[in-house]
Structure 1
Amino acid sequence: MTGSTRRLTVAQALVEFLAHQYTERDGRRRRLINACWGIFGHGNVAGLGQALLECGRTTMPYLQGRNEQAMVHAAVGYARQSDRLSTHAVTTSIGPGATNLVTGAALATVNRLPVLLLPGDAFATRPAEPVLQQLEHPSAGDVSVNDALRPVSRYFDRVVRPEMLVPAALQAMRVLTDPVETGAVTLAMPQDVQAEAFDWPEEFFADRVWHVRRPAPDAAELAEAARAVRAARRPLIIAGGGVHHSEAEDALKALVEATGIPVGSTQAGKGSLRYDHPADLGGVGHTGTAVADELARTADLVIGVGTRYSDFTTASSTLFAGPGVRFVNLNVAAFDAHKLSARPLVADARAGLTALTEALAGHRVDQAYEAEYRAGKARWERIVDAAYAAADQDARPTQTQVLGALDSVVGDLDVVVNAAGSLPGDLHKLWRARSPRQYHLEYGYSCMGYEIPAGLGVRLAAPDRPVWSLVGDGTYLMMPTEIVTAVQEGINVNLVLIQNHGYASIGGLSEETGAERFGTAYRYRTDDGTYSGAPLPVDLAANVASLGMDVIRAGTVRELRAALVTARESDRPTCVYVETDPTGTAPAAQAWWDVPVAQTATRPAAVKAREEYERRVADRRRHL
């Protein structure tokens, strides 16, 4: 290497390098890696731990986590709130600290959200074998537990020599900033290499700006898409998460207002239009609204924008039932643009929507079609009103009434975070999203334990926006640890903890599929071996308080509303704890979801469920 150099350890060099990486889109420059979460053990304490101390908080802010998986969730929440233009790094020791990253990495990659993982690794020099926490593989000496991260990472490298860091770090940044390739990026860092000194070229530490491109649509693809839209009588737009990642909400609105085409949204795309826009039909798919799903069944053209068409969106390939239905898919990723044998429109969502609006100048759907979907929207709004309403303000609230109370308290800038259980279905059907980033549902991986740490990440990315992490008791028991981090760092997140004594979502699914709610309730075991006794005497509110968070108990609808107001006005992390009435339910699913049922069984519930399954699965189709 020529020119001036700087002598640093590998870990110090990596931290310094990360501090000089930026993204740029539409002329706006942002720092790419804004902080590093870390839990230290012998695999990183003297390497990356010492480097973070040496370089200082100005160079790389450090955040202390309590659980490695939760740290990844916090970083992912930050990245999503930042439109994938900024994220955090996460460092752990080797062994269980590193393998705890796997779930978080899978979530990031499934949802196409950038996060940089820096797990410690076994000694590259192999001074003794095995060292503590080293996995010995009899037929492969170069395997470590970090290889478990390969299939859930979009990019993986192991830096076994100092000079390997330069190309590995540059490749890592390329993937993190690529809207098609992004996801979890893993640089496995052997603990001896982290502490090794090297003479680094000064150019390695120069500011580097990664341009996040907005590819425009191909002219031929655009013309074909426009012809398809003009020929359609009942077109429907499916807005996915790509609308938000591209900041394409205004472009979508412009297209809709010019053409009158209605919009149904996926979990990731909800909020692409404000809920009270005449063309916003709410969620689509298994957890969608009646009006969106009915239009999906009768659509002759489905226009997917930034969606990967998960089975919830397509109702396991049963939703789009029109005999001649065709698809146009606008997506920055060609892989997704070609799904469902669609006419692909491979482009950035905002660029593609703008171009399509221009290509459709003068075109508008029939007035009767507009009147039809607007009437359907009005009918569904009355269903939402009924689900939110509580005739008796002094009664225990149902889960939908909890959402109704929260709906009455939040402002346009509040963010609601959720991921798993029965809440995602209720929220997708009922929540009235007031702004593009208000609805933060992680449903690509539907990971229990995501909500609390992700709420921290959202709040760090948007300190001026009130954040609500909605959590059931099952999810809470999976991962409450980052409450301590919220208290320590003064991260003002509001937790709404709903106690319903078990896995409500899977309990309902179990009943539908003939498994009779087996193993889904948090209750004492009875003489017949089932968990059908009295509820467990667990006081989750006391547990939250013991971790340092303020707690408000709400026993009635009236108390709940007051508690939510108090929490929103508080400047401390606050939990509103409420036990819900299980008899109240949300509107039923408006479309099917394929969960295989036992093909042979003796119990009547399973036999009946199989009959229903065979009836439903007959509607599944391949779109060719």
Structure 2
Amino acid sequence: MSRGSASYRCRGPATAIPLLEKTMTWTGSDLLLDLLARAGVRRLFGVPGGPLLSLLDRIDDHPDLEFVLAKHEEGAVFMAEGYAQAGGGLGVACVTSGPGTMHAVTAAASATSDGAPVLLLAGQVPVPHFGRGALQDSSGGDWSADLVGMFRSVTKLSALVTDARQLEFLTLRAIAAATSPVPGTAHLALPVDVLAGPAPRPDVDAGPGPSHPHPDPAEVRRLADALTSAHRPLVLVGQGAKIARAEPGLVDVAERLGLPVATTMKGKSAFPERHPLSLGVYGTYGMSQSTHEAVLDDEIDLLLVLGSSLGEVSTVGWDERLVKNRAVWQVDVDRRQLGRAMSVDHVVQSDVAMLLDALTDELDRREVVRPGPPPGGSGATPVEEAAATTVKHPPVGALQGSAVARVLDRRLPDDTLLLVDNGNALCWVGEHYRSGAGREIYCSLNVGCMGYSVPAAIGVALARPDRPVVAVVGDAAFAMTCPEIHTAAELGVDVMWVVLNNAGNAMVSNLQEVMFSRSPGSMYAAPIDVAGVARGFGARATVVRTATDLEAALDQVLDHTAPSTGPVVLDVQVGPDEVAWSLRARAEALKVTA
């Protein structure tokens, strides 16, 4: 996929209200932007509004900062999340007061759940106007929504800045909270008089980066003893390992000890799935029957959990067989996750990459014989077995979602950055698309917000302009955030969205059919013209009906010799009735809790 280069600069109003009159005085906006630039921030994603005008005006004069105009506040925060997930550093989103800030709550919660460092800057009415009926006042009390309080439950820090003299301290504290060893969203409410009024010059020393917990050497030795003495150990890898960039150490330890490795859906791409020790994805989404059986094998006597909180999705509804009759070790940088969800025998608070490095050093001091290939059959892993069943043309009827994922597995380059939206796309990509060898995968689970991948892909593309960026999204999720395609068109970024168009909320419909043998209220009366919508927003679009058409469309978009084309949408017509194997396990979990 060829890469485009475009810069979108914010242009402030020709005139401003007296409170925001342009002046050469050093203002709160200047101080804030200076602190962000010192922290390495280069882009701010946002939607404008009155309380933000002084900030936008100053961005336009700042040589190191670019403002990306989103179409909706949720989209702006998801762009910032994607930017952070792809290694672009701190993602920053700007929203205005009242409904602008309210719209950002879901995406802010998602970034915190996904461990993405995001700073949310929210405008607010002037401090003297709190409680006086100001337009979009959201300062709390009994007169308006308390957005600072609302964000406290979904962020690492939520604070109101009422004086410019607080701005430096609270901004640095918010950046530190967002980029801590357990990253997430930090929220600052910024009244217009704080941003537009005079402020002190910065007096900062950024100091060292966040300190990650090192493992206790004694715990490392005990873990090495347990792994080398276990009869059939198994590793389950979660998002924490992916955030820690632990793949090299994980591959080394797995190969030294012959450890089969499964990942959660959020941990997918933390271990290469073409590796002979890979079992693929375990959990509600993406799991195959062979993976399920391999992980729950009665002969497994030790389970090492690396960077997973063992939540509902990662454990198929907290299936006790995952931890029963085996020694369970859990490693996580966040001590709050240790032993929180399921019974474990040993806990280690540590950054996963650091733990694996220490474990490697410990194994170096021992005489550990490297085992041969894993026993059994042809040696094919569950992921390889799924890939081997690829069919280019479904025998009858519409193109199936699983076949789309298999085509993507064959056709996408090894350096692809793939985003997956919530819905059946998770199941198909989780089971049939192999990560590793440079392929990275990003998703947004726990909060599970539909529509994440449309804006997040834009953030990923801006953070990693040298890599192909592809998002797989259902038509219902596409409908929620598709206006951000216009943002991609304005920026000229090369992003490809593969939209599984099956005329509605097929995952919900599938669950309803499994549980109740009918599916009222889930499917559309008429399908969305996804290609037409995409063209209206300025993207190229192609309707795809067969696997052959899909392969041809992918080859055309990914042609490195072709000039930059900007955003592309593939409107892939798929049938709604294919039910993923893992979705049946989800239905059983819902029956228990219903």
Give the CA deviation at 1:231. 3.3
Q: Distance in 1 between matches of 2:430 and 2:78?
A: 21
- The equivalent residue for 2:325 is 324
Give the CA deviation at 1:228. 2.3
Residues 321 and 382 of structure 1: is their aligned pair in 2 closer, same or farther, counting only changes over 3 Å? closer
User: Does residue 579 of structure 2 align to residue 580 of structure 1?
Assistant: no
SS state of the match for residue 17, structure 1?
A: helix
Q: Distance in 2 between matches of 1:106 and 1:407?
A: 31
- The equivalent residue for 1:48 is 55
Q: Distance in 1 between matches of 2:152 and 2:537?
A: 35
Q: Distance in 1 between matches of 2:367 and 2:587?
A: 39
Q: Distance in 2 between matches of 1:92 and 1:592?
A: 36
- The equivalent residue for 1:74 is 79
Q: Distance in 2 between matches of 1:162 and 1:285?
A: 48
Residues 560 and 366 of structure 1: is their aligned pair in 2 closer, same or farther, counting only changes over 3 Å? closer
Which of residues 545, 565, 568 in structure 2 aligns to 1:555?
Answer: 545
User: Does residue 59 of structure 2 align to residue 59 of structure 1?
Assistant: no
Is this contact kept in 1: 2:427–2:582, CA < 8 A?
Answer: no
Is this contact kept in 1: 2:247–2:271, CA < 8 A?
Answer: yes
Which of residues 352, 357, 371 in structure 2 aligns to 1:354?
Answer: 357
Is this contact kept in 1: 2:214–2:350, CA < 8 A?
Answer: yes
- The equivalent residue for 2:309 is 308
- The equivalent residue for 2:294 is 295
SS state of the match for residue 132, structure 1?
A: coil
Per-residue CA deviation, residues 376-396 of structure 1 (Å, 9 max, x unaligned), is 74465334332x313469974
Per-residue CA deviation, residues 313-334 of structure 1 (Å, 9 max, x unaligned), is 1111215356422211122112
User: Does residue 187 of structure 2 align to residue 218 of structure 1?
Assistant: no
SS state of the match for residue 26, structure 2?
A: strand
- The equivalent residue for 2:433 is 431
User: Does residue 582 of structure 2 align to residue 564 of structure 1?
Assistant: no
Is this contact kept in 1: 2:500–2:573, CA < 8 A?
Answer: yes
What one-letter code is carried by the residue in structure 1 that aligns with 2:113?
V
Q: Distance in 1 between matches of 2:337 and 2:490?
A: 42
Is this contact kept in 1: 2:274–2:384, CA < 8 A?
Answer: no
- The equivalent residue for 2:203 is 203
Per-residue CA deviation, residues 471-526 of structure 1 (Å, 9 max, x unaligned), is 11101111101101101011110111221011111111122232721211112xxx
User: Does residue 176 of structure 2 align to residue 158 of structure 1?
Assistant: no
Map 1:465-484 to 2 at 5 A: 465-484=467-486
- The equivalent residue for 1:194 is 195
Give the CA deviation at 1:364. 5.9
Which of residues 265, 269, 287 in structure 1 aligns to 2:263?
Answer: 265
SS state of the match for residue 562, structure 1?
A: helix
SS state of the match for residue 413, structure 2?
A: coil
Give the CA deviation at 1:421. 0.8
Is this contact kept in 2: 1:318–1:592, CA < 8 A?
Answer: no
Which of residues 113, 117, 120 in structure 2 aligns to 1:114?
Answer: 117
Which of residues 226, 230, 236 in structure 2 aligns to 1:238?
Answer: 236
92-101 or 352-361, which deviates more? 352-361
- The equivalent residue for 1:542 is 532
SS state of the match for residue 42, structure 2?
A: strand
SS state of the match for residue 456, structure 1?
A: helix
Give the CA deviation at 1:338. 3.6
Map 1:121-520 to 2 at 5 A: 121-126=124-129, 129-135=132-138, 140=142, 144-180=146-182, 182-200=183-201, 202-204=202-204, 208-287=206-285, 288-298=287-297, 299-318=300-319, 320-321=321-322, 323-339=324-340, 340-360=343-363, 361-363=366-368, 370-372=374-376, 375=378, 377-378=380-381, 381-386=384-389, 388-391=390-393, 396-435=398-437, 437-514=439-516, 516-520=518-522
Is this contact kept in 1: 2:235–2:305, CA < 8 A?
Answer: yes
Q: Distance in 1 between matches of 2:214 and 2:542?
A: 51
Per-residue CA deviation, residues 218-240 of structure 1 (Å, 9 max, x unaligned), is 02222222232233212110111
Q: Distance in 1 between matches of 2:510 and 2:379?
A: 27
Residues 588 and 240 of structure 1: is their aligned pair in 2 closer, same or farther, counting only changes over 3 Å? closer
Is this contact kept in 2: 1:296–1:319, CA < 8 A?
Answer: no
Q: Distance in 2 between matches of 1:68 and 1:439?
A: 24
What one-letter code is carried by the residue in structure 2 that aligns with 1:51?
R
Is this contact kept in 1: 2:331–2:350, CA < 8 A?
Answer: yes
What one-letter code is carried by the residue in structure 2 that aligns with 1:262?
P
What one-letter code is carried by the residue in structure 2 that aligns with 1:472?
G
| Structure 1: 5+ residue stretches without partners | 1-5, 22-30, 524-535, 598-612, 618-624
Is this contact kept in 2: 1:38–1:62, CA < 8 A?
Answer: yes
Is this contact kept in 2: 1:293–1:591, CA < 8 A?
Answer: no
User: Does residue 42 of structure 2 align to residue 34 of structure 1?
Assistant: yes
SS state of the match for residue 341, structure 1?
A: coil
Relative contact order (C-alpha < 8 Å, sep 6+): which is higher? 2
10-19 or 329-338, which deviates more? 329-338
SS state of the match for residue 60, structure 2?
A: helix
Q: Distance in 2 between matches of 1:273 and 1:510?
A: 34
Give the CA deviation at 1:359. 2.9
488-497 or 226-235, which deviates more? 226-235
Is this contact kept in 2: 1:260–1:365, CA < 8 A?
Answer: yes
Residues 163 and 141 of structure 1: is their aligned pair in 2 closer, same or farther, counting only changes over 3 Å? farther
Give the CA deviation at 1:295. 2.8
SS state of the match for residue 172, structure 1?
A: helix
Give the CA deviation at 1:555. 2.2
Per-residue CA deviation, residues 446-471 of structure 1 (Å, 9 max, x unaligned), is 21111111111111111111111111
State the TM-score, normalized to the length of structure 2: 0.88
Q: Distance in 2 between matches of 1:167 and 1:485?
A: 33
How many residues align structurally?
A: 560
Q: Distance in 2 between matches of 1:327 and 1:252?
A: 18
Give the CA deviation at 1:342. 3.5
Is this contact kept in 2: 1:397–1:557, CA < 8 A?
Answer: yes
User: Does residue 28 of structure 2 align to residue 10 of structure 1?
Assistant: yes
Residues 141 and 215 of structure 1: is their aligned pair in 2 closer, same or farther, counting only changes over 3 Å? same
What one-letter code is carried by the residue in structure 1 that aligns with 2:118?
V
Residues 365 and 505 of structure 1: is their aligned pair in 2 closer, same or farther, counting only changes over 3 Å? farther
Is this contact kept in 2: 1:286–1:314, CA < 8 A?
Answer: yes
Residues 349 and 588 of structure 1: is their aligned pair in 2 closer, same or farther, counting only changes over 3 Å? closer
Is this contact kept in 2: 1:285–1:590, CA < 8 A?
Answer: no
Give the CA deviation at 1:196. 1.0
339-348 or 447-456, which deviates more? 339-348
Give the CA deviation at 1:279. 0.4
CA RMSD between the two structures: 2.6
Residues 127 and 500 of structure 1: is their aligned pair in 2 closer, same or farther, counting only changes over 3 Å? closer
Q: Distance in 2 between matches of 1:190 and 1:434?
A: 46
- The equivalent residue for 1:604 is none
